[in-house]
Amino acid sequence: MTLSTNTWARATRAAGLTELDAFRARMGKRYASGRNFDLGPGRHTAVSCLSPYVRRRLVLEEELVAAALDAHGLAGAEKFIQEVFWRGYFKGWLERRPGIWRSYVDGLAKDRLAVDTDPKLAKRLTAAEDGRTGIACFDCWATELTTTGYLHNHARMWFASIWIFTLGLPWRLGADFFYRHLLDGDPASNMLSWRWVGGLHTRGKVYEAKAWNIAKFTNDRFQPTPADLAADVGGLEASEPDGLPEPAPLRSLPRLDDGQPTALLVTEEDTHPESWAFDARTALGVATLRASHLRSPLPVSDRVTHFEAGALQDAATRLGGQGADLEAHDPKAVATWAQGLGATQIVTGYIPEGPLRDWMRDAEGALAHQNITLVELRRDWDTAIWPLATAGFFKVKKKIPAILRDLGFEDRQPRLL
């Protein structure tokens, strides 16, 4: 069995829902028993491969959970549902500690400068990104990432561990490499996962790539020896001697004023405006904002930018028309567009910490100059999870049944497929 030929071919809600329906029967025991196996490109059938759609909310987390509960119940789909919650946990954790994102951006700039001034580091980095290290599994994963825009989650962990501990490369350069190529690249999930592997997220607890583990969970597709991998996997805590900052409150948001002339802005952070707490039919106009190029100071994969453009186009089409097509370069662009419509308020989906949030901070200055308010709509899903994301995932995990009840899932029972 191989993946549907439609997987990631179309960045549309319809395509995402088709893939969701195709995976529904595998969200229970088959997912729990097979989710750690990386069988190679085109054979990731034990996992949903829905993450590029979910990352842009072409498919909503609530829809994943509802499908899993309907098909298998909470106990039967426990592992799958927990993985859905991991995404919300990471996003909430970063929202509560926005300084970690700024530290990543600043550290990446320093790492890039080191590459520019150290030919040996530059050579080792190029070999890793091109899949020419001589470590067969790592090289195959590098090639899969750059040619498909996807890696199995277990492969991402192994890859990051080898990058950091075996190859001795700066972790931020690896996170940047992933972020430039992953179709599902998310600033929180990507950056915090690399920190987790390196022992920075859960302080002192690293993820060690082991030869037997790689062989087992690739069905012997790869058979590295212990000598191929680092024996010393000391964490990176010394690079952050002050430890983690205390979690801050979630930032307060301007309230929607139904009496104001309003424009609607869609970004890849949320491309399902039909489910926002705002009637799009009342908007003076709609714009989409392309921003994938902000992911990195280096060129971002064409696959990523094309998927983003497709998702935004699909959102505009579902709203009934093309609308304005903006790109996140000049921070005044959004204000100029809204002012041209006569809008004094812009409604958009919540923009979490990451490169677009950084850009929007500058754009908000231009908006304020024109007396235009940006209103971000945070979803109930995020509001339920993010306040709990203060430490490790366990605090969120043990609250999953209560969160589901609060969100209205308590009456869902499995149906025969």
- Structural domains in the chain (count): 3
8 A C-beta contact, residue 150 and residue 213: no
Per-residue confidence at 232, pLDDT binned at 50, 70, 90? confident
| 360 strand-pairing partners | none
Q: β-strand 324-327 against 345-349: which pairing, if any?
A: unpaired
Q: Are residues 122 and 230 in the same domain?
A: yes
Q: Which residue has the higher pLDDT, 87 or 2?
A: 87
Q: Are residues 352 and 223 in the same domain?
A: no
Same domain, 155 and 88: no
254 belongs to a structural domain: no
Q: Is residue 2 part of a domain?
A: no
Q: Are residues 73 and 128 in the same domain?
A: no
| 404 contact partners, CB below 8 Å, separation of at least 6 | 65, 69, 74, 410
CATH code of 20's domain? 1.25.40
| Residue 1 banded pLDDT, cuts 50, 70, 90 | very low
In a domain, 314, yes or no: yes
Q: pLDDT tens digit string along 258-315? A: 999 999 999 999 999 999 999 988 999 999 999 999 999 999 999 999 999 999 999 9
Q: Are both 229 and 106 inside the same structural domain?
A: yes
**227 and 285 in a common domain:** no
Same domain, 342 and 227: no
Amino acid at the residue 51: S
Asked if 123 and 227 sit in the same domain, the reply is yes
Helix (H, G, I), strand (E, B), or coil: what is residue 137? helix
**Which of 207, 239, 271 represents a domain boundary (last residue)?**
239
- The token duo for 248 is 């801050």
Rounded Cα distance, 321 and 316, in Å: 6
Asked if residue 64 belongs to a domain, the reply is yes
CATH of the domain at 290: 3.40.50.620
Q: Report how many helices (DSSP H) and strands (DSSP E) the chain contains, helices first.
A: 18, 5
**Range scoring the smallest mean pLDDT among 130-139, 235-244, 376-385, 389-398:** 235-244
State the CATH number of the domain containing residue 233. Answer: 1.10.579.10
pTM of this prediction exceeds 0.85: yes
pLDDT for residue 161: 98
Residue 417 has pLDDT above 70, yes or no: no
Confidence class for position 345, pLDDT limits 50, 70, 90: very high
Mean pLDDT rounded to a whole number for the chain: 95
Cβ(283)–Cβ(347) under 8 Å? yes
Model confidence over 81-127: pLDDT tens digits? 999 999 999 999 999 999 999 999 999 999 999 999 999 999 999 99
Domain match, 106 and 233 both:
yes
Same domain as 387, residue 296 = no
Residue 372 identity (one-letter amino acid): I
In a domain, 322, yes or no: yes
Domain that holds residue 75: 13-95+383-406
- Do 43 and 142 belong together in one domain? no
**Is 323 part of any domain?**
yes
Residue 148, burial from CB neighbour count under 10 angstroms (0-12, 13-18, 19+) = middle
Vertex 308, ends 182 and 371: CA angle to 5°?
A: 125
pLDDT band at residue 5, thresholds of 50, 70 and 90? very low
Residue 4: inside a domain: no
The answer as to whether 131 is a domain residue is: yes
61 and 105 in a single domain? The answer is no
